[in-house]
Structure 1
Amino acid sequence: MPAPHTQTITPPPPRPEPSEDVPLPDPGTASVLPRSTSDGMHPGSDRGTGPGTGTGTGERTGSGAFPGTSRRTSSRRSRRGRLGAGLVEVPPVPYRDPTEAVLANPVVAEEKRFCGNCGAKVGRTRDGKPGDPQGVCDKCGTPYSFVPKLRPHEIVGGQYEVLGALAYGGLGWIYLAQDHNVSDRWVVLKGLIDTGDATALAAAMNETRFLAEVEHPNIVKIYNFVQHPDPDTGNLVGYIVMEYVGGRSLRQLALEHHRATGRIEPLPIGQVIAYGLEILPALGYLHGQGLLYCDLKPDNVIQTHEQLKLIDLGAVRRMDDYESPLFFTTGYSAPELAKRGASVASDLYTVGRTLAVLSFEFTGYTNTYKASLPGPDEVPLFALFGSYHRFLKRATHADPDRRFISAEDMADQLTGVLREIMALGTGKPRPGASTVFGPETRTFGVDMVVPEPGQRVPLPDPAEVIAGLPIPQVDTTDAAAGVLATTVATDPRTAIEALSGAPRESIEVRLRIVRARIELGELAEANRQLQAAQYLAIKAGFPHDWRIDWYRGLIELAGGRPRVARAAFDAVYDELPGEIAPKLALAVSAETNGDYFAASRFYELVWRTDHSYVSAAFGLARVYLAQGARAGAIEVLESIPPSSTHHVAAQVAAIKIKVRVGDDGRELAALSERDLVEASERLERLTLDPERRARLSAEVLDVALHWVRAGGSRQHPGARVLGRELVERDLRFGLERRYRELARLADDTDARIDLVDRANAVRPRTLT
């Protein structure tokens, strides 16, 4: 692992190569982009590392003056729940006795000793003689010291008694102390590496100013700021007094997990996502206060019991601050910092990188993949959970404008991804309300036509699909949101007329008209309106509005171009990896295009996550049936719960699939007595109208008759199908009765005659 050091040079030195390249090494390099001067930019760096004992530690890089470029941001305050969001159990971390956290021998390892001015290696072993932890840099003559400034039992600020050093961080040693003025509570004192380091001093002052304004349960509290004379120079040194958080950093938890498993194994994916869902509300709170965190990484997040806290707020800055040094950590920091400065987008980037480092063996994240992610071919987790991969890709997109807009938006999508992962892992649905799409109020493909064996499975009508796909929610901030709320017309022509006087500068109005034109089959006009909506989105500063791709996909699907529609829906999936709707749209597009493998994958993701999307279950059954997987199709249909309004339709389809046989007899030979009995029992439990029951009963009895004629093996002599023994004579009587029932119910004379002829033909010979 690279050693920490602080320096200010031009240009910044290359990053030292780590001695190990494992998923969670200290990043090893930090750079500081300094405040602007009349001479322009003067890069520097500030590196540090530590064990993460509830204090800020780790290498960091930092800062400078940047032009006021930023993306659109949102500071809506996020919702907060218990760790795991009620979806996954996260092992609690016991509170750590602070006295046990004190280092018995506070020493900075030699490989972590660098000159704070020029970055040269200092205090190293030479000719077998151990390096001196304090001295003068041979290269630039700057004094250095890696010895703790405070001694046990020393009183700082007249009230804080030092017990010892806890860790060595980016700004120097971190100490445990007792506050004798406030119930002897445990506190942490965070000092500086070098009293002559103006950059470090500015960062410490920044932390003090911002922390005094912060009040959030997931962010460490600051109590005070005191000064104490340096024992060597007599100069006053500033110390931040903050809350002691007794627990383990996420980095420590990950390393402990590695040791416990005996191999380099990442934390469970559900646990990692749960951490992300606890971190994001804290960042959202800071953003709502006009602040940026800037330096998120596993070292800076502590878990105690079932709570997380962000620590080490030395990098916190105001959104409109382009003068203070900007601190960040290599491997976690956004690539645009040097050009665009820090932003909400760059903060969210660090969340994505933190989750990536914790969730898979991310070798090379500080070099080869410093600003990118490996693909599914290298990371099995991505191949298994494509939604998580897309989530991380958007969170860490090279273009800041393509990332999530806010911490709340990011948390919404991450929650959706977690629901999907937990549903796949546990086999239990994990439904949840969407914040951007309405629920599935209409279904498609539920009137399933079961074809004869060898024939193509009929696809649902495109118009039915478009009507059944979830509808994007109206943006309540849109100028015409009120008008749209009062436009309840379901007829598309009426809706267009009702919106004729609405503001034409409204994106929502344009999109509603697009939908109406699609429903009317006026696809050319729908395209024209969509182009107008896209122009308005770009004009409003939203060039990548996912709704444009969504409606483009609907237009292409309606126009019979499923391949193009699939590309559009795939773009929506990239933007909204936690949503059900784009996966359902991708499934039907793939099915229409004949890609049954992809269709089954997406249908399954939807159905296993949320059983309210019944269209996905019927779609999955169709795809299985198209591939000859009759048992799979039946299993899916049987999983539609009795509470669903489409339960009966699903049961009817399952019965038809089970008993549908072809002329070649292959399906007949595969039938068993149990199959016929189960189909009979399922049919008898259903509540059907007389004609539908009689027709389906006739199908079951007809197949049973053919099965008996073909020499089907009977295992239970008393077995019955719809009240008839599995013998030819009794089955003929049963089938005759069903044909006559259908004849009585038929409205058409020819159909009635045909059914009577069938009844006569199947009736066994009798003496009367």
Structure 2
Amino acid sequence: MAETGTEAVRFDPFADEDDDFSLGLDTSRRAREEAISTFRRNRTVRRLGRTVADGMVHLPFVGLTNPKAALINPNEAKGIPAPKLQEGDVVAGQYEILGVIAHGGMGWIYLANDRNVSGRLVVLKGMQGMDSGAAEAEREFLADITHPGIVKIYNFIDDPRQPGGFIVMEYVGGPSLRSRRNVLPDKVFPPDIAIGYILEILPALEYLHSRGVVYNDLKPDNIIVTEEQVKLIDLGAVSGIGAFGYIYGTRGFQAPEVATEGPSVASDIYTVGRTLAALTLNLPVVDGAYGDLPNASQEPLLRHHLSFYRLLQHCTNPDPTQRFRSVAELRTQLFGVLREILAVRDGKQFPAQHSLFSPQRSTFGTKHQVFRTDQLIDGIARMVQITASEVVPALASPLIDRDDVGAAMLSGSSYTEPQEALETLRQAMHTEEYAHSAEIPLGVVRALLDLGYTGDARSWLADLQPRLGEDWRFQWYSGVTDLLLEDYPAAQDHFNRVLDILPGESAPKLAMAAIAELRLQNYGFAHKSLLDPEVTHATGDLEGNLADLDTAAFQRLVNLHDEPERLRFHAMRFYAVVWRTNPTTVSSAFGLARMLMAENQVEMAVAALDRVSQASRHHRMAQLTTILQLISGRLSESRIRRAARRLEEIPTNEPRFFQIKIAVLSAALNFLRGADLRAAASPNELFEYPFTQRGLRIGLAETLRLQARMAPFPRHRYSLVDMANQVRPVTWF
């Protein structure tokens, strides 16, 4: 039995059952007309816009523009030949010319009315003249481009007035990003909005690349915003990857190597970087085209968001091999940079959903200051310095590249013993199937490091250098290896290279901060103030802004060198930006606090640790650390009382409660003695004791005796009791 086709069912809620059916036809026509009228009317209704970039950016609603407003007067264009088509001309018996809307590499671009489709406006753009076979091939691949983020192609027509004929495209009735930018107060977009728009057009570029072609002419003029859509227009410059002949582009946006090496994915990446720069910066104009990127010293926005600056530099590197390798890689870093911008500028944190690294595996430097007070328990002195062996296990690990041919094998080997995994991976490397895998040889390095064979790992990396030296994972594991071998300058260089390639990732920033701190420890400057107060506030304050720094001071500090002052600046800067962006990476909070304490910025150090979430298992340690910070350095009655109040908020069953209490009481007694005071200015007690020398000595003696009861060794217990007897005031009864 044959299937039935689509049929119409009569529905007229206002008709009686006995009404003539012919009247229903009129009702149906009116209903259709009403639906069309409603659709057209609602197109002009202003809506709220939409959120993009995983909810991080809200793009405003942009209403449709009047097509007549898009027309320009060609007579005002100096040095450009007059249009070949005039208003009222009809092309191919179908397209009635309304006027011109722009001038491009192939001449004037026309707005026309499609007589065959009621109310449809189209754009006619000239095509390059070529032989009939090549022209037919070009038309075929252009007609096959179908993506919601790319303007639709309706037709190709031949016309004697245009040697290559015309391409007929969809008219997108909205302003370009260039037009939108030019009406803004500073004629630039905020970086988050600009990144939001770029993220919207990246899928279109990725689609083109997957089809073996490149766009070639990305620029703000060719990105149209209409209602809730962002679209690429003007496919006239699209060409095959590696094509030769005439490659169209725009000076100031086109990659420098196109003229000698042809178009590529890397050259499209270059145009993305230049477009993002043109949207967010007032670029210099040289000979009618945008010039080079300003450096961070010259541009406050780039100084404030150095990761954004790194991203622009990586996109627009003169060497195409040193740019992002794909749109997907660029998109991942754009998300990371966007997260950082919003955290630093607005104090808003978002989850790292696109990171190339695992979450932080453990922590480093979170317990050192509190652990010093454990000497009261067992009499053993403790070091307050971080070590490389403590830092490395706390660093995030690179995630396996799922597109690598060896990814499946590595996923399975993660559940085996390191020695067994090492042997399996070594055998796999000698098979033809895995000959081109990068993950398997790097997996060998990872296994060697897990087994503690650090020297062997360095030798293995040296052998991989010729093949994988430019891979960021190679640079990461080289940095980890040198860090374990305490070759800090080499480790710093490797992690800095990772950061150049992956500016949106927090993992290399945390590694850079730790290495700078380790080098300061080696130089003996771990606890010495090195920075001017204004530099410390701009760098380490969670509300600080590097753009507020004096230009000369920024230029002096920003480059990585061995001077202690610069090491402190970078340690503080990286710890601060990681902590502001990633509220779960508590190692950065404690690291920032240590740097601030070294600069005698107690209040800023306390504020940094106060941001540790109550849900974090490190919250208690952060509380105890802030108490010790308040009683460090220059003492005051106010800080001592604040420290005591903070301790009183902690339950007495906290194992270190009494030793911290002893530290606070000792600081209070030292404060009174140092100021030659018998009592504090306020009559209020400190804990349950009078804030006087006698009262504090009584409290200190009692607390030392309580602490002695918990001492694990008899000898130390007796020492604590002796200390209590020495500090106790003399009594006569």
TM range (shorter): 0.7 to 0.9
Distance 1:712 1:388 in 2: 56
String of CA shifts for 1:613-632, please: whole Å, max 9, x gaps. 11111111111222222222
Pair 456,266 (structure 1): closer, same or farther in 2 beyond 3 Å = farther
Distance 2:702 2:131 in 1: 93
SS in 2 for 1:241: strand
Question: Which residue, out of 303, 328, 346, partners 2:249?
Answer: 328
SS in 2 for 1:483: helix
1:116 is matched with: none
Size of the aligned set, in residue pairs, is 624
Question: Which residue, out of 551, 558, 563, partners 2:477?
Answer: 551
1:23 is matched with: none
1:341 partner amino acid = G
1:606 partner amino acid = V
Pair 367,225 (structure 1): closer, same or farther in 2 beyond 3 Å = closer
Note the residue ranges of structure 2 that are not aligned, 5 or more in a row.
1-49, 374-380, 521-566
How much does 1:606 deviate?
0.9
How much does 1:99 deviate?
2.9
Are residue 382 (structure 1) and residue 318 (structure 2) matched? no
Are residue 463 (structure 1) and residue 383 (structure 2) matched? no
1:150 is matched with: 86
2:183 is matched with: 256
Distance 2:672 2:418 in 1: 54
Does 1 or 2 have the higher relative contact order (CA < 8 Å, sep 6+)? 1
1:650 is matched with: 622
| Deviating more after overlay: 420-429 vs 490-499 | 490-499
User: Which has a greater percent of helix?
Assistant: 2
1:94 is matched with: 63
- Pairs within 5 Å for 1:219-618: 219-227=150-158, 230=161, 238-257=165-184, 260-261=185-186, 265-319=187-241, 321-322=243-244, 325-364=246-285, 373-449=293-369, 458-488=384-414, 492-493=418-419, 495-496=421-422, 499=425, 501-504=427-430, 505=435, 506-535=437-466, 538=467, 543-594=469-520, 595-618=567-590
Distance 2:420 2:293 in 1: 49
How much does 1:91 deviate?
4.0
Is the contact between residue 583 and residue 606 of structure 1 (CA under 8 Å) also seen in structure 2? yes
How much does 1:520 deviate?
4.9
String of CA shifts for 1:220-239, please: whole Å, max 9, x gaps. 11122334565xxxx89833
Pair 497,720 (structure 1): closer, same or farther in 2 beyond 3 Å = farther
1:602 partner amino acid = F
2:526 is matched with: none
Distance 2:384 2:492 in 1: 19
How much does 1:660 deviate?
3.0
Distance 1:516 1:689 in 2: 42
Pair 624,489 (structure 1): closer, same or farther in 2 beyond 3 Å = farther
SS in 1 for 2:429: coil
Is the contact between residue 210 and residue 317 of structure 1 (CA under 8 Å) also seen in structure 2? no
Pair 526,306 (structure 1): closer, same or farther in 2 beyond 3 Å = same
1:303 partner amino acid = V
Question: Which residue, out of 89, 94, 106, partners 1:171?
Answer: 106
Distance 2:69 2:212 in 1: 37
1:646 partner amino acid = H
SS in 2 for 1:176: strand
2:596 is matched with: 624
2:558 is matched with: none
- Please report the RMSD computed on the Cα atoms of aligned residues, expressed in angstroms: 3.2
Distance 1:206 1:256 in 2: 41
2:727 is matched with: 762
Distance 2:138 2:637 in 1: 75
Distance 2:57 2:608 in 1: 26
2:665 is matched with: 701
How much does 1:657 deviate?
1.3
SS in 1 for 2:166: strand
Question: Which residue, out of 116, 131, 140, partners 1:181?
Answer: 116
Are residue 748 (structure 1) and residue 713 (structure 2) matched? yes
How much does 1:353 deviate?
1.4
| Deviating more after overlay: 240-249 vs 562-571 | 240-249
Pair 690,343 (structure 1): closer, same or farther in 2 beyond 3 Å = closer
SS in 1 for 2:183: helix
Is the contact between residue 331 and residue 366 of structure 1 (CA under 8 Å) also seen in structure 2? no
1:109 is matched with: 77
Note the residue ranges of structure 1 that are not aligned, 5 or more in a row.
1-80, 114-144, 662-666
Is the contact between residue 337 and residue 504 of structure 2 (CA under 8 Å) also seen in structure 1? yes
Is the contact between residue 448 and residue 618 of structure 1 (CA under 8 Å) also seen in structure 2? no
Query: Percent of pairs identical after alignment?
Result: 41
1:100 partner amino acid = A
Distance 1:204 1:623 in 2: 65
Is the contact between residue 425 and residue 441 of structure 2 (CA under 8 Å) also seen in structure 1? no
Pair 321,691 (structure 1): closer, same or farther in 2 beyond 3 Å = closer
How much does 1:348 deviate?
0.9
TM-score, with length taken from structure 1: 0.75
